[in-house]
Structure 1
Amino acid sequence: MSAPAAAQSAAPLGSSATLAVSGPAAAATASGVQAAGATGGPSAVGADAASDTASLHSAFDSRQRVLDQRSEENNYRYAVAEHNCYSKFFVNRCLNKARDSMRTVQADIRKEQLALDGEQRALRARERDERVALKRAQDEASAPERAAQDARNAQAYEEKQRQHELNQAQRNAEAPQRSANEQAYQEKQRQHALEQARRGISPSQATANQKAYDQKQSDFQRKLEQARQQGAQKAQERTQKQQSFEKKQADAVQHKAEVEARQKQAAEKAEQKRQEQLKQQQELEQQKKQQQQQQ
């Protein structure tokens, strides 16, 4: 492709890409993001926006290739002209003319390159804003479900607590009855011992009977103590589970805050780095312009 043909092909691409960035495509993409947050069904609009963005990137790549080719052709023509100048009588005049021609084309290419870079930065900024808006819309759309789940979890926990209190109250209410049953059992045992004495049971037999009775009482007390220990252990386990659940909830909130803080810090660092690179690029361009002016 010759230099004039490349310049002609670069101009329409630049104008169409600029219109696409600042015109209907941007509005369509922005409206697509809003529709996504409002309705939760942005598949069709999102596909159109993605297609527009892909077209813009393709146009940018085409324009960049044209600019790169024009730069190569400009350098090649200058090298050829420089070589030919040494065969002429007025060598310096020929070299200056070739250099001026080369710099004129180079300045035009540089101007178009800066415009292209600006449009690409604008597109990247817009894509970043769209991603942030889409993420925000998704979070807002899922917020009711998260709130409902949290409410269900809280309700389930409160229900368990109420059930535990009811069970505890029932056990406390049954305690007097259990005590009365125990006393009635003790009284029956004493009556049984008296009945055996009236029947003429020997002391050794009475002692054996008492030992058997004591053993039964010991077994009963042991089982009762085991039941108390199991109840206390289960209550402790429930308390530990509740504490673990609350700790997980707190850790999740803290983790979310840390992630958001890291994301914000990363974005600030990226923006700072981009500003530094832009500043360095501007300083480099200024130095090149000064060098060209000095030449």
Structure 2
Amino acid sequence: MTTRRTRRRGGARAIVLALLCVLVAVPAGSGATPDAAAAPDVAARPNVTQGHYVGTFNIYGNIGHRGDAGDWIEEEADAIRNLRRGGMDRWLFIGLQEVCQAQGERFARELGLRSAFIDTGTDCVDGQPYGNAILFHSATKILPPALLPNPDNRGGERGIICAVVRAAGDRGPSGPQVTACSTHLSAGVTKDREREAQAAFIRHGWKPDGTHTLGADGPLVIAGDLNAPPDAPELDVMYDGVEASGPRGSGPPFAFPTYEDGRKLDYLFVWGERGAARWADTGTRPTIYSDHDFYYSELSMGIG
């Protein structure tokens, strides 16, 4: 069992951006039958596609686990697989943060998924590349990753990795596609301006193809640890989208806290131009293996 420890802040280093989009083909999940209740009835929601779950999880992979990709990942994967009826076929994608490369790869294998990884230039304590990962069934495209703005050049780089993904079993050209991203903004009480610049870059500044901003060609889902509570001004631009736990003022103090001290720091945002997107069955799953909860919700995309 790994005990929780204080998060590391700072530690300037020379930064190298390396794209490590690792596509890992693995067999389907185990098919274990969960005890959770069935998903909401989509038939009661006209003009809405079948919902699929999206999740985000800061796995505490370096400071908490020192790069270890051992059996704790199998335990976490089993818990995720059994979280909702239908197993991994009900999941669209999962974003991981604070990931050492081998950890992201093992999560993918255990869940029967593929993965893409961005190395943000900081090594884990065992020498592995460190960054963010995204797990999915299939992808028509892996977008070129990006480092986020780091105006003071201190505290380590942050990045974003995105893929255009499809649901399980949906390989046809007319099937819905979603641009799915995993990101991690800077941490610290003095980093609000930096987080503001990073959020603005993601929402309006980044052009992965050199011409169009992220999500310009269809639905976009951002999963990540944004290191700020919902009322933080630096997240204003993110709330142009629809967040899985609802409006900023929902809940006392906010719905679905995700960090061990009771704050909400992890988010699922959706933007799109194909009709209304709806979140349902939002929840968190605490774990002894991270200082963050696994945060998830069912996403249904409008089709009319």
Which structure's residues are more often strand, by fraction? 2
Normalised by the size of structure 2, how large is the TM-score?
Answer: 0.20
Greater fraction helix: 1
TM-score (structure 1 length as normaliser): 0.21
Q: Which has the larger radius of gyration?
A: 1
Q: Larger relative contact order (C-alpha < 8 A, sep ≥ 6)?
A: 2
